[in-house]
A and B are shown apart, each in its own frame.
Chain A
């Protein structure tokens, strides 16, 4: 079990409650589930890394439990009751140093401290669809949902959000534009936040400016956008909608750079690799697909028999395979170097001989000497 979990580089949560690990190098998928007692109320809603070293996966289920899975040992190590199903499903799970943040659909955002049972509670409003943590400033979270605009909360000052977005101006019929934030992303190295909405809009907000309305608005397709992810390269965002269309949008102009083909069902989970230009997508068509962002081609496709809800990429995705290969290459190179080292000593002698010859030819014709120098 531990051997299987250690080679897995992509983790997925399914509707049947099974945690799946996929190893792209070995082209295998493994199911990690507790015994055979599966039930639909253990359906995985959210997943997050438990620690920066990515050795623990936190899995949040519909019945309100958050389970900790250790990738080294390959078993679930802890279970924690973090709410009950009456408040809705988990919409966000995050970890700061020594505490865990959970958010449910009814708007109850709780910070669970390690060891103690006291929690800090914030009511972020009803109908939350997503809660996301700022990866660089871990005490800041953003929430948004249906008729619930984007709000950025600082957990050290939980009474009021530090930023509330304002709705855009009325449209050309002078009617209020409905709000439905489906997914949120923090742009690295800046204060900006990207959101995708159920009304097929992608908006960029900048809390550092006094403007509370979006800085950029882009539209894609005709169907609700369900998932969003920011790749390692700046200036682009990958979004997916309920029709199975994945698109790369440019955040400078708001144009569609290209579409990633292949999906047949709604996109439920989307994540870009932290360093490589890859994006993993999973959805209702029961497949995991890994696309390359540079040429938009499909790199891997894995059939996993249940509908998939969320995906987590480890930072060492395909690098592990290349590490093995590079290891071999290094070994071969080392051997070759040894061979060349032994050779060099021989060539030094020839150089000496050549030098001696040169000295000998100094007295000879100049042209010949020049040729010999060129040959060296």
Chain B
């Protein structure tokens, strides 16, 4: 067998052609003709990948013909010099399962739904926001300071002490005094951990879990206190229908026309169903460079439930409830 192989390889090598083809034909003499054609096809496609095409025992030094060996060697060096294409790393955001409720901007039905929902009064410029901030009963220092700082960040916000009042009784009084939002910060073990945001005339009530609250004192390299100017609002990454509702809820907290003189911006950034709130002051150094300094409190929110109607946790109808065992089973599925 060996002698036969030697004779065939010799006979083939005499022909003009690529040395790769020599090896291919050696193999193919043992195998049917179809494989040879396939091998030739592969070889023309995979020109750069010389490694996997060859049998594992191949190395450049085995080619007897000096000139061909040299040219093969140069080719190998060339391929090693070329960098392989950069692979895009897989991230959880890349691999996110497509949500069928993602809003298409041209969708008429969703546009009509949003145009006539509870926030339409704000978005049609019929009402101006007026926010009442309160806490759960008997708040401790951190929560109180958090409420005060929130009141400086949100224009037209008023902080009131809770005094053990029932929310269902507070709400009609707020409505009669013209408030558009009721914000209740819930406290647990001297730390704020929950937020109930209720849109007032008859609007939805969102219940959030608050975490990672940083007050102004604790922030590094922060700027001076925020001024009374109306900030701009940035809402990032609220793509699904539920995300749209929540995004509109946050947008309706702030007055319509931002005062660019103040150079302040409040950002609600949604990533992986967590909403990050940041408050910055920016300055344009020139056309391309911006400097920002973070002012104001910083906190993270996670939506727990969205209830239709004003606060009524027992008898209200929920539009969305977070159910951990059903919704958190996949690491790549998000709802906002």
Contact = CB atoms under 8 A, between A and B. Distances in A.
Q: Do A and B come from one complex?
A: yes
State the main secondary structure of chain B at its contact with A.
mixed
B112 A285 contact: no
Nearest to A199: B315
A138 B277 CA distance: 59
Contacts of B109: 16, 18, 31, 305-306
B316 interface: yes
B315 to A, nearest CB: 6
Interface in A24-40: 31, 36, 38-40
B317 A264 contact: no
A242 B107 CA distance: 28
A224 interface: yes
A286 B101 contact: yes
A307 B109 CA distance: 11
B271 interface: no
B314 A223 contact: yes
Interface string B108-119: 111011001000
A265 interface: yes
B323 A242 contact: no
Contacts, number: 59
Contacts of B315: 198, 224, 242
B319 A305 contact: no
A307 B308 CA distance: 11
Contact of A284 (B108, B113, B314, B318): B318
Given A266-B308, A284-B308, A305-B241, A243 B112 contact: no
A277 to B, nearest CB: 22
Interface string B293-336: 00000000000000010000011111111010011000000000
A202 B169 CA distance: 30
A226 B318 CA distance: 12
B241 A243 contact: no
A309 to B, nearest CB: 11
Contacts of B107: 305
A18 B101 CA distance: 18
A16 B112 contact: yes
B309 to A, nearest CB: 10
State the main secondary structure of chain A at its contact with B.
loop
Contact of B320 (A223, A264, A268): A264
Contacts of A38: 112
A303 B100 contact: yes
A246 to B, nearest CB: 12
A288 to B, nearest CB: 12
A40 B316 CA distance: 21
A36 B107 CA distance: 13
A28 to B, nearest CB: 14
Interface size class of B (residues with CB under 8 A): 20 to 34
Interface string A254-282: 00000001101110100000000000000
Contacts of A285: 319-320
A64 interface: no
B116 A261 contact: no
A189 to B, nearest CB: 33
Nearest to B241: A286
A13 interface: no
A224 B309 CA distance: 15
A266 B314 contact: no
Contacts of B113: 15-16, 305-306
Nearest to A31: B109
A305 B110 contact: yes
A267 to B, nearest CB: 9
B318 A242 contact: yes
Contacts of A262: 326
A15 B112 CA distance: 11
Contact of A265 (B100, B116, B318, B326): B318
A39 B112 CA distance: 9
Nearest to B103: A305
Contacts of B327: 264
Nearest to A224: B315
Given A16-B109, A16-B113, A18-B109, A226 B100 contact: no
A194 B184 CA distance: 40
Interface in B23-43: none
Which of B112, B116, B241, B327 has the most chain A CB atoms closer than 10 A to its own CB? B112
A40 B116 contact: yes
Given A224-B315, A265-B320, A266-B308, 12 more contacts: A15-B113, A16-B109, A198-B315, A242-B315, A242-B316, A243-B318, A244-B323, A265-B318, A266-B318, A286-B241, A305-B107, A305-B110
Q: Which 9 A-B pairs have the closest CB atoms?
A: A266-B317, A284-B319, A242-B317, A303-B100, A305-B109, A265-B319, A40-B116, A264-B320, A305-B110
7 contacts: A38-B112, A262-B326, A264-B321, A265-B321, A266-B319, A286-B241, A305-B109
